[in-house]
DNA sequence: CATTCATATAAGCTGTTGCTTATATATTTT
DNA sequence: AAAATATATAAGCAACAGCTTATATGAATG
């Protein structure tokens, strides 16, 4: 089950554009070292580090240490609270949902 | 098309638990007058008013004036930016998505 | 083991957010 | 039009969020 607090956390965490951009890069690139995320970010290394902590605390990313690098990847369950919550509003976005469904079915 | 700003707005707006509770009540009850939302809220009338403004600005609710009451209802397109964005992460929540799909198909 | 590289933490500053009380604006009722 | 009801706005405040610079930790390398 998903708690209100978890949902709030996920929403707050994704609401910041800089942090969301970090998340999106991780999602796109599969597994990324923090250094690489700092490169190509507008903000400083500590800022990125803080965002990564927030993403991890929200359950949105997981980390794997390899030597002195830490690789981040998206945590599959992280978006769960958001998905679940949206489930309650099916009726309101049914049309868009159907588009999404097509996408998922791989009908190009 | 959905802009980053719109998505940020929707996320920020829903991230506050009090405001999200207001949104959820509107969703559940269909069409609600602001007064009614104030009744049964922990916060003051101005606070509710401010939350309603935020929800409207984010495109999440629409209003209809009737006499001196203003009735709020969920705006169908409001969650669009969020749905669209999640579409990019299909692969990460495919399992949950399938549950959702069942729900939508009305298979109880 | 001293240095370099990768990441995290600390401290402080600034802007934003959500709330309050007080007051203003609309609309209806008497 | 005066009073009552419904909502919005203004102003101020306390808490928080995100950034910075400076420094600490942790791991690899010479």
- For residues B23 and B89, the model is more confident at B23
What Å distances lie between residue A32 and A3, B6, B15, CA to CA? 29, 27, 27
- CATH fold group of domain A4-104: Arc Repressor Mutant, subunit A (1.10.10)
For B4-105, give the CATH class. mainly alpha
Could you state, in order of their start, the residue ranges of all structural domains in chain A? 4-104
Q: What is the pLDDT of residues B36-53, one digit of tens each?
A: 999 989 999 999 999 999
Cα A52 to Cα B30: distance, rounded to the nearest angstrom: 39
**C-alpha dihedral, B103 to B105 to B106 to B107, nearest 10°:** -80
Distance CA B66, CA B99 (A): 40
Q: How far, in Å, is the CA of B88 from the C1' of nucleotide D18?
A: 26
More confidently predicted of A103 and B1: B1
pLDDT tens per residue, range B72-105: 999 988 998 998 898 887 766 665 555 544 444 4
Q: What does the alpha-carbon distance between residue A76 and residue A37 come to, in Å, rounded to a whole number?
A: 20
Summarised one tens digit per residue, pLDDT across range A23-82 is 999 999 999 999 999 998 999 999 999 999 999 999 999 999 999 999 999 998 899 899
Q: pLDDT by residue (tens digit) across B26-35?
A: 999 999 999 9
Smallest Cα distance from A71 to chain B, Å: 18
Which nucleotide shows the minimum CA-to-C1' distance to residue A47? D19
- Which residues on chain A are in Cβ contact (under 8 Å) with B16? 8
> Nearest CA to CA, how far is B94 from chain A (Å)?
8
Look at residue B105 in the predicted model and tell me its pLDDT. 44
Which residues of B lie inside 8 Å of A (Cβ-Cβ)? Answer: 4, 7-8, 11-12, 14-17, 20, 24, 27, 74, 76, 78-80, 82-84, 86-90, 92-94, 96-97, 99-101, 103-104
pLDDT tens column, A2-38? 899 999 999 999 999 999 999 999 999 999 999 999 9
**Which tens digit of pLDDT belongs to each residue from B53-70?**
999 999 999 999 999 999
Q: Rounded to the nearest 10 degrees, what angle do helices A80-87 and B94-105 cross at?
A: 10
> In the prediction, which pLDDT does A106 show?
43
């Amino acid at each position: 089950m998903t708690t209100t607090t978890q949902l709030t956390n996920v929403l707050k965490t994704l609401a910041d554009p800089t942090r969301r951009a970090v998340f999106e890069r991780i999602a796109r690139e599969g597994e990324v070292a923090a250094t690489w995320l700092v490169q190509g970010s507008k903000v400083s290394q500590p800022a990125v580090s803080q965002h990564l902590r927030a993403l991890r605390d929200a359950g949105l990313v997981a980390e794997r240490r390899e030597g002195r690098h830490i690789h981040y990847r998206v945590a599959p369950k992280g978006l769960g609270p958001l998905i679940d919550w949206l489930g309650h509003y099916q009726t309101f976005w049914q049309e868009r949902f159907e588009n999404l469904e097509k996408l998922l079915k791989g009908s190009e």
